[in-house]
Amino acid sequence: MEQWSEINAHVEPIAFSPKEGGQVLVEVHQVVRALAGTVLADEHVGQRFTFKDGLIQSMKVCLLSSSGLSA
C-alpha cells in the first residue's frame, strides 16, 4: 500500500468489547510516525470489527468516548 511509503504506524490492542450484531470494538493505542521518526499522532482510537461466519467482514476506525469503549 502506498501509505506505508510515507508513514510508519504501530497499533497495539488495549481492550476488547463485544457489541451487538456480531461486532467487536477494539480500543487501540496508535502511534503514527513520519519515516524520519517524527511523531505525527499518538492516540487511542477504536477499531470496530464486524464478523460473519467466523470471518472479518469489515473494520472501521472510530473515535472513543472519554470513558473508553463505548463507541
**Nearest Cα to 29, choosing from 20, 18, 39?**
39
* Domains assigned to the chain: 2-62 (3.10.450.50)
Does the predicted TM-score (pTM) go above 0.95?
A: no
- CA torsion sign for 52, 54, 58, 63 is positive
Q: What is the mean pLDDT of residues 17-23?
A: 91
Q: What percent of the chain lies above the pLDDT cut of 90? A: 68
Cα torsion through 69, 33, 3, 47, rounded to 10: -10
Backbone angles phi, psi at 4, to 5 degrees: -75, -10
Give the lowest-confidence range in 3-12, 26-35, 38-47: 3-12
Check pLDDT > 70 for residue 67.
no
